[in-house]
Structure formats: structure tokens, C-alpha cells
Structure 1
Amino acid sequence: METIERREYSFSYSPETPEDIRVVVGIDFGTTFSGYACASVRTCEVITNTNWPGVNNGSFKTNTVLLYDENLKVSEWGARALVGDTRERKNRGNKSPKPVELFKLHLGNISDNKKPKLPQGLSPEKAITDYLRMMEFTEKTKVVMRQCIYDANLINNIGTQNLQFSTEPEAAAVHCIKVLKDHKINIGDTYLVVDCGGGTVDLTVRKLLENNRLKEPTERSGGFCGSTNVDRNFIEYLENIVGEHAISSLREKHYGQFQYVIQQFCERVKHQFTNDSSDFRTFEFNIAKYCPALKQYIKNPAKDKLEQDDWIIDIYYKNVKLFFDPVVAQILDLINEQLKKIDKCSIIFLVGGFGESKYLQAIIKERFNTYKVAVSPNPVAAIVRGAVEYGLDMDTIKTRVLKWTYGVGAYEKFQEGTDEQSRKNKDGYVLKFILLAKRGIEVDVNQKFSKKLTPKRPDQNKAFVEFFYTPKYTPKYCDESEIHKLGNVEIDLPDTGLNRPILVTLCFGKMEMVVTVKNETDRRTYRSRFNLEI
């Protein structure tokens, strides 16, 4: 018999009905660049912001960068944080604070050595909050983001339903609906969206239904193979020539110049790179021009060689190709794996800033030459515009495929020969993972999954129902590796005895889960809402 018992608990609350909504705002908080768009629910006209401090008008995004002063107060943000860094260091010397970049990676499931170091006293949550606040719009990731958005005063109630989350590829898939007819995509056809950003590449398959509704036939996928990895490969190439110590010193002591090196590489090489070598002009990387401070850190024999070459490093087509190819190869593998999961794909859409790369486009078209490959309209703004379009019509998404397995914790009697002896508690029970919904299944919006539980002790007067999620398909115990706690619901248990059934229900809403725990003895129902980890 399944049982439940108290452990620890917490709650999150939301209003039962949304507040009056007049404007929908979509925020694309990216690893390297961010943007936002908005639309009136009356006109449904989506307007993408192109007015950023320190950026020429017309740019859909600005840098996800912050510049703090010595008291950890934001002095500049966006593109100005990089310009401001150079100015600050010129005026105050190299001890002034450096810009903070790539802090979104702290939300990702990657090794710590790949996450950027933050200034002492600065947490990822504070950096995210500060950045969202500076934009001035007057699972783990969604929980952190909701708290940061609340702290940034973008919402008045931390549990409000007026804040909804969507994955970047899903938002892009919604945005692509507008051009499906142009590509002769009909009801029943399936298309793949490949969102190529700065930090990550995310993929989702969607099937077009009637009335522009979308279903998700396969589990989405992704990887940390965005365009910043091309920059990293370029920097590693320079390290091989001038020495790792020289680049490390430049980064640490002259960050403005280090950042300028990357900016020049992106503008002069990366953004213009194609698969046609005849289009490429050798890039003369002039150390004296781009990063003069680097000279003092270069040691022999590299120093003698560079002095003979007038401090110029020639970067050829074959070099840049090597910067791109390992990253592109990962993207090709991700696409290939997604295509294996479906019988037919009518078109592959590329979105995101990296999706504009002519080299990436050409290699994808060459590798998948039996498929139609297209770049979505406004690829850089596709995610943020799609988020607004989804907010205007949240019925667009008909089904999703679960990326996690969900369940509830319950104590059951230890079974000799079946359960592990080390998991047995002093009362002879084992905490089991009771499955509610399994990873990989396709669920409709508002689909429910239920399970009945009973108390562990006849005199138990309260129950603390714990909900968990995991990437595993068939977990057995709640304390296994990769089991994450979703939340708790506390309920009263009137009367006595073991025959006091409790009905636990998990309902997958549009972008959040609603859990209900119903005491079938007194018919009282308890509800709580959790962010949908998708």
C-alpha cells in the first residue's frame, strides 16, 4: 500500500484567474544578446524594440553585459557596458571592475569550469535581476527567473499568471507559423526549428494542426554549441601563438582590449564567413592595433617571431574553418538525431543570431540536401516576437512532449530481495518514487495524471506530499541521482485509520503545472502551482 509522510515543504501561490491584460511583452533573455517586443491585445501588432543605449537604431538586441562599480552597483549595461569598461579603465586604471558577461550560463546544467567567474559578492541571481531591471519595461531556471523578474519589479505578484514561460524554440516555432503557407506547409505537415543562439542551440519539431495549432510529436533537444564557441576557438588559436599566459594576462588586466579583440573578429571575420574560400580575404590580426597591451606579456620565442612579422598574425580561411567546424558538427549531430525521430520533415527553419551565419546555413543545406532549409523571417528577433505572438494566443500550443518524468514520494514497506537494504529506514519503510507522468510521452494542454495514496500511520493528522522530477524514465527511489524536488503540498488528515485515501493529481497547463491533493475523506482539495520544467 502506498503511503505518505512528512519531510520538508514549501509553497508557491498564484491567483486563480489572470489579471486584466492589455499589453503582452516578450523578453528574450539570451546568453550573449537580449531583446524584447510587445503588442497590444487590441491590435495584435507586434513591435520589436530597436532603441538601445550605445547601439545604432535598428538592432533587435543588445549585449547581455553589465558593468558594475566597486560597490556592485550597475554603472552601465548592454553595449555601453563594453564601451564604458574601456573608458573606466582609461580613467581609473586596470583595477576598476570588469564587465560581467555570460552569467546566464550559471542557470545551465554545465560544468563549473565552463561557467564565467563572477566578481566577489555577485550572485547569478543578482546579475540577472539587475539586467532585467535595466531593460526598464515600465525545474531551477524558471524558478530563478520568476524570482529575478519579481525582484526587478516587472511583476507585482511573484505567483501571477500574467508571467508565462516558453522555450526559445517553441516561441520560434510559433513565429514561423506566419510563413508556413509561403513554403507550402499544410495541415498535418511537420517542421523542425533549429534555434542557434550565442550560448546554446535548441531544436523542436512541430506538426501543424487546424486553426494554426501546433503539436509536438517528439522530445526537444539542445546543446551548448552556440556561436560563442567559435569565439572561444579563435581565442585558443591566439593562445597557441602568443602563449596562454599572455592571453590570460590580457583578459585579466586589460579586459576592454580583450573584448575588443573578440568584437573585431566577429565583425570582420565571423559574421562575414561563408563556405566559399574565394570570398575570404586573409585577416591581418594586428596586435599593435587591436590589443597593444598584449605585447608586454608575450615571451620568446613567440615574441621574436612576432616582432619579425611586425606584430601581425595572418588568419587564413582554413584557420577560420577550424574555428567553425567543431561547433557546426555538434549542430549537425543535433539535427540528425531529431530527424531520426520523425517519419517526414517538410522544412527545417533556422532562427537565432547564429542562424544568420552563411557558413552554417551552407553546411546544413549541404548535409541535409534532401530537406528544404530556410531562414525564418527576422531570425534574430524570431524568439522574442514568437513569445509575444504566443502570449496573444496561448491556445496555439496543443500538445507537448515531456522532457522529464514526474512523480510523488511515498513510503512503502521494505520488500526483502526487491528493495536495497541501505534504503530501509528504522520503521521498515522505503521512500519510493511513484510515477505520475513519464518522460517522452505527448500530453495535451490541461491533461491530468492521478494517483491514490494512503497514510503511513493510523494516527497521522497531516500529510506532506512531495513532488519530484527527473530525466530518468523509470526511477525507483526518490533519493537516486538526478532526482530533483519540484515542491510540496501540506494537507490535513481528519479522523484516524489507514483507509483515508488521498487523490494526487498533476495537471499540465499551458506553461505551468497545477497539482491538487484531494482528501477523499472530507472532500477538501489543496492546490499549488509549479513552473513547468520543459
Structure 2
Amino acid sequence: MGKDLKRDITINDESGRPLLAADVFGMSIKFLVDDMLNNAGKGIDGGTIDVTVHETGSEHTLREIRPASGGDWGSIMVDKEFENLLIHIVGRTVFEKFKHEEKEDWLDMQREFESRKRETTVDSESIVGMRIPASLIDLYNKHSQRDLCTSLASSQYAGLIELKRDKMKISNKVFVQLFDASVTKTVGHLKSVLSDGSLKDVRILLMVGGYSESPVLQRAVSEALPGTEVLIPAGASSVVLRGALIYGHNLSSISERILKFTHGTAYTPFFIEGIHPRSKRFKEKDGNQKIMLFKIYALERDREDPVYIDDDECFKIGELEIEFDEESNTSKRKVSLSMLFGGTEIMVEVEDICTGKKKITTIDFLG
């Protein structure tokens, strides 16, 4: 296909709507670049733990029975603990200078730490070895006027962390402690989700994503949920990507979902004294207009329904404008707004009942 790709080639989305291939690829590349820039330095395999519950249906389909929930307790939390360990060893000033001035060495160090995270086990008495960049050692020696090896030998980490040339040897005990906060949060949330009486029949837990490959996390989850079978597929770090590709080719693979958010549109009711605050009151100059603008808002589904669009945690996700053929009295004009859920984006349609004129737009989930 790549040899024949031209500017005017179109592809269809799940609703059959034709889109310019160049626009789709351009948007995808922009999202990936923005995501990499926004998440630079936040951990190589992401930072969130997301828990959702599905049941299998007929013909290899899935039905969601609990929407995704969780928090930023994943790999990024372990990475942060590693940063704190380095700060305790070399000091915050040296560490920050190293991160900003020696970015390539810092990235290499993160990659090596990522590898060690996926290898280290709880019971092992072995030493976790990592290369420490010469640039970091030089910065410390220059700033503190002391040798880093000597400083470690006389610190709280004496006998637990040792430095020989450019090799840092960390005791397994110290390394596993870097997981403590993340594991505690993750296990606690899993227990909370599964304590729901409607989920008493859940017997299998499927762990995916790069962090799932950590033996430390695997053991903690298995011990916390003794009656649940824990499955980690081969290549767990790429399972989410492969699942997205499967879903893209077969949208019916997920037969039912539960919305994570409540959706609605802003509107302007008549002011009622004693019910609406005076700060929200305003008066229109006249009742005629040629354009009607619909603003679409969302709120997490477990929150109380908002009264006003500027209420806490209520946020705008898109808007749609319809133009009338001629000026009309708004109070007498009937306009229908509908939202279609179930695909990879929300489809919003506005129809002028008087003329049958329609306007359609979509709202994606890219933020």
C-alpha cells in the first residue's frame, strides 16, 4: 500500500465516513509526538494502573461490567523511588544537574533500570548490578570535593550499595523496597474492586503491560488474591497494542461497554428566583439568532450530576454549531441533539426540526 499512497487517497472510519488518509496519518503522528514530549522522563512503560472487569461472551466477544479505574501507581512510581534513592546518594543539586546536562546518560540509566525492574525477584539474595555514568560520578566528586565510593562506604547505605569504578551494586533488599509504595497501592485497589459483591464470581486476573512483567508485582498480586488465578501472557508489554489492533479490525469484539463519564450539553433555562444564584443571571438582547452553538461536557460517572457547567470536575470535550437558513426566534425553534456511543469516538448530531437540516461531528478521546 505504501508505494501507492497519494494525497487524495481516502479511508473509511467505523461509521463508513470517508477521511483523507494523509489527515488520519498526520493526526496519528502528531498525537504520538505530543504524547512522547508530554511524557518524557515519566517512565518507559507508563505510569498508571488501570483495572477493569470483563466477562466473555459468545463468539469470542467481551462485555465490560466495570469501567476502568485506578491511579498513577505503576512503573512511574517505582522510577520515582529510584530517583529518590539517587538523590539520597549524590544529593539533589548534583542529581538535577546530571538530569538536565547529561540527558543521554540519564536516559541510558533509565533504560537499564527498566531492565532490572523486570528481572529482580523478591527472594533472590543476589546483588542488582547497574552501570553508573562517569558523568554523574564526576559531577558528585567536583561538587562535594569527596570521592563517591568513600561517601557511600560511610553513609546509611554502607554494606547495601557499593560502587566499583562505573558499576553500582545494590542489595536485593534495597532494590525491592523501591516497589513498596506502588505494590501497596495496586494491591489495595484490586482488593477494593473485587470486594464488590457483584464481582464475587471473578476467578481470573489478567495482567498486561510492561509493569506486569515484574516478578515483584506478580508475586504481590498472587499472594494478595489467593483464590484468583493470575495470568500473564507472553509479551505482556505489547498486549495492549495488539488488542487495539484486533479491535480496529473487528469492532464487534467488545460487545458492550460501560461509560466512564456522564455526558451532556450546556443549555440556558429561564432564571428562577430563589433557585438559581443571581451571579448566573443574564439577559439576551433579543430572541432571534442565525446560529446555535452546542457545547458538550463530561463528568466522571460516579460524581453527582452537575447543575452548572463550571462546577468542579465538569469539563468541556467538544462543541457543534448549526446555522439556520434565516433568523429565527430561539424559544420557538425546535432543534434535536443526539449522541451516539460505542465506537472509538462519540458521534454528535444536531438537526433543525423545522427544515430537516443536519450537522454531524465527532469527539475523540485523545484529550
Same fold (TM over 0.5): yes
Higher relative contact order (CA 8 A, sep 6+): 1
1:261 maps to 2:109: yes
Sort the Cα spacing of 1:513 and 1:307 in 2 relative to 1 into closer, same or farther, 3 A.
closer
1:334 matched residue in structure 2: 189
Q: Partners in 2 of 1:16 and 1:382 — Cα distance? A: 26
Is the CA contact 1:214–1:396 (under 8 Å) kept in the aligned structure 2?
A: yes
1:274 maps to 2:121: yes
Runs (5+) with no aligned partner, structure 2: 1-12
2:350 matched residue in structure 1: 517
1:320 matched residue in structure 2: 175
Q: Partners in 2 of 1:384 and 1:487 — Cα distance? A: 30
Residue of structure 1 aligned with 2:39, choices 79, 83, 105: 105
Residue of structure 2 aligned with 1:474, choices 291, 302, 305: 305
Sort the Cα spacing of 1:259 and 1:207 in 2 relative to 1 into closer, same or farther, 3 A.
same
Which residues in structure 2 correspond to 1:180-195 (within 5 Å)? none
Which one-letter code corresponds to 2:322 in the other structure? E
Q: Partners in 1 of 2:70 and 2:274 — Cα distance? A: 40
Runs (5+) with no aligned partner, structure 1: 1-13, 30-63, 67-99, 107-113, 117-195, 429-455
Q: Partners in 2 of 1:101 and 1:531 — Cα distance? A: 15
Sort the Cα spacing of 1:407 and 1:273 in 2 relative to 1 into closer, same or farther, 3 A.
same
Is the CA contact 1:460–1:493 (under 8 Å) kept in the aligned structure 2?
A: no
Q: Deviations over 1:180-231 (max 9, x none)?
A: xxxxxxxxxxxxxxxx943222222111111222221112113222223322
Moved segments of 4+, more than 6 Å: 307-310
Task: Report the alpha carbon displacement of residue 413 of structure 1 after superposing the two structures with TM.
Answer: 1.3
Q: Partners in 2 of 1:474 and 1:115 — Cα distance? A: 34
Q: Partners in 1 of 2:35 and 2:61 — Cα distance? A: 37
Is the CA contact 1:225–1:331 (under 8 Å) kept in the aligned structure 2?
A: yes
Task: Report the alpha carbon displacement of residue 295 of structure 1 after superposing the two structures with TM.
Answer: 3.6
Which residues in structure 2 correspond to 1:491-510 (within 5 Å)? 491-492=323-324, 496=329, 498-510=331-343
Sort the Cα spacing of 1:467 and 1:295 in 2 relative to 1 into closer, same or farther, 3 A.
closer
Residue of structure 2 aligned with 1:232, choices 58, 67, 80: 80
Secondary structure of the residue aligned to 1:330 is helix
Sort the Cα spacing of 1:401 and 1:410 in 2 relative to 1 into closer, same or farther, 3 A.
same
Task: Report the alpha carbon displacement of residue 530 of structure 1 after superposing the two structures with TM.
Answer: 1.6
Q: Partners in 1 of 2:223 and 2:322 — Cα distance? A: 56
2:6 matched residue in structure 1: none
Sort the Cα spacing of 1:311 and 1:382 in 2 relative to 1 into closer, same or farther, 3 A.
closer
Residue of structure 2 aligned with 1:361, choices 206, 218, 241: 218
TM-score by length of 2: 0.77
Task: Report the alpha carbon displacement of residue 394 of structure 1 after superposing the two structures with TM.
Answer: 0.7
1:462 maps to 2:291: yes
Task: Report the alpha carbon displacement of residue 509 of structure 1 after superposing the two structures with TM.
Answer: 3.6
2:281 matched residue in structure 1: 424
Sort the Cα spacing of 1:515 and 1:265 in 2 relative to 1 into closer, same or farther, 3 A.
closer
Give the helix-richer structure, 1 or 2: 2
Sort the Cα spacing of 1:348 and 1:393 in 2 relative to 1 into closer, same or farther, 3 A.
same
Task: Report the alpha carbon displacement of residue 474 of structure 1 after superposing the two structures with TM.
Answer: 0.3
TM-score by length of 1: 0.55
Q: Partners in 2 of 1:101 and 1:257 — Cα distance? A: 22
Which residues in structure 2 correspond to 1:176-215 (within 5 Å)? 197-215=45-63
